[in-house]
Chain A
Amino acid sequence: MSEIRIVNATGLVCPQPVVLAKKAIEKNEQVKVIVDNETALENVRRLGTKMGCTVETQAKAGGLFEILLTRQGGTPVPSENVTVACKTAPAAAGPFVIVCAEDKMGRGNDELGSVLIRAFMHTIAGQAEKPDVMIFYNTGVKLALQGSETLDDIKELSAAGVEILVCGTCLNYFEVKDKLGVGVVSNMYDIAQTMSRASRLLTP
């Protein structure tokens, strides 16, 4: 067995890691590709599978991933027609949206649901991967009112750049428009459009 060829693809954006990996595996039995993002990881993995390699991945410190591609039992590399596929992360396509349609999380027990939504908001506010937009409608608008247990967390998200859209019809229905503590009074056009454009839509 020949030695492992190392391809350092950190700091490179797609399709570069895939191109380098492909070149390397065409000439070597075994290639270790180092990447620093999940998109590259997925794309290199997909390439390896297409090229008939065994693929082993390992997450390393500092957000790095090592992908070990091994040609199976000396099988020849498939001919040139393996294209360098480069799927970018869906995040690039549309916003990450969280929709709060209720002032609770889950159905079944309201008391528990109120506890869960508070824990959820606290966690979302604290995590690195924040949504681009949060939409509140129906009883969900109550989460964004003054005196709400979740208000501070939503304010924190708003301060971090998360767009907070609160359904105006709903505020009106509950007669609480004057109590809105955070966010923009929004309408169905913006809400429906944002939800339609979303690359990811999450409902607690």
Chain B
Amino acid sequence: MSGSPSYCVMLFKSVSYVLKAEKILKKENLPHKLIPVPKKISSDCGVCLRFEPNMREKIEAALFKKVEIEEICKLCEQ
């Protein structure tokens, strides 16, 4: 996971959406990680999915019309 200069996080409306999305990504074998929502995005106690920027299209396609995505942010590794 480390070593990459940037990554994407995908935010959802609720934790259950995150879990639903995760189930799909696991089935599709798309690498991702469930992490707490980075502080710079929100101080809420939320979780989101993190993945490499080059996985973005595949992941979005996998979730299309299955799980509603709230936002995707590209972040730099601290």
Q: Give chain A's interface residues, CB within 8 Å of chain B.
A: 111-112, 115, 118-119, 122-123, 149, 152, 156
Which of B1, B2, B19, B47 is the one whose CB lies under 8 Å from A119? B47
- Pairwise interchain contact A119-B36, C-beta atoms closer than 8 A: yes
A118 to B49, CA, bound (A): 12
CB neighbours (8 Å) of A123 from chain B are 36
At the interface, yes or no: B15 with Cβ under 8 Å from chain A?
yes
Interface pair B1/A115, CB less than 8 Å apart: no
Nearest B residue to A111, CB-CB? B19
Taking CB atoms, residues of chain B closer than 8 Å to A149 are 34
Expressed in whole angstroms, the Cα–Cα distance for A156 and B1 within the complex equals 10
Cα–Cα, bound, A152→B18 (Å): 20
Cross-chain contact A112 with B35 (CB below 8 angstroms): no
* Nearest A residue to B37, CB-CB: A119
Interface residues of B (CB under 8 A from A): 1-2, 15, 18-19, 33-36, 47
Instruction: Report yes or no: B33 in contact with A122, Cβ–Cβ below 8 A.
Output: yes
Query: Can you spell out 22 A-B residue pairs with CB atoms less than 8 angstroms apart?
Result: A111-B19, A112-B15, A115-B15, A115-B18, A115-B19, A115-B34, A115-B47, A118-B34, A118-B47, A119-B34, A119-B35, A119-B36, A119-B47, A122-B33, A122-B34, A122-B35, A122-B36, A123-B36, A149-B34, A152-B1, A152-B33, A156-B2
A149 to B34, CA, bound (A): 9
Taken together as a complex, chains A and B put the C-alpha atoms of A156 and B36 apart, in Å, by 17
Report Cα–Cα, A112/B34, bound state, in Å. Answer: 12
Which residues of A are found within 8 Å of B36, using beta-carbon distances? Answer: 119, 122-123
Known contacts A112-B15, A118-B34, A152-B33; 17 further A-B pairs (Cβ under 8 A) = A111-B19, A115-B19, A115-B34, A115-B47, A118-B35, A118-B47, A119-B34, A119-B35, A119-B36, A119-B47, A122-B33, A122-B35, A122-B36, A123-B36, A149-B34, A152-B1, A156-B2
CA distance A203 to B1 in the complex (A): 26
Q: Give Cα distance in the complex from A112 to B36, angstroms.
A: 13
CB distance from B75 to the nearest CB of A (A): 13
A162 → B minimal CB distance (Å): 16
CB neighbours of B19 from chain A (8 A): 111, 115
| Min distance, Cβ A155 to any Cβ of chain B, angstroms | 10
A122 to chain B: which residues have CB within 8 Å?
A: 33-36
Contacting residues, chain A, for B34 (C-beta < 8 A): 115, 118-119, 122, 149
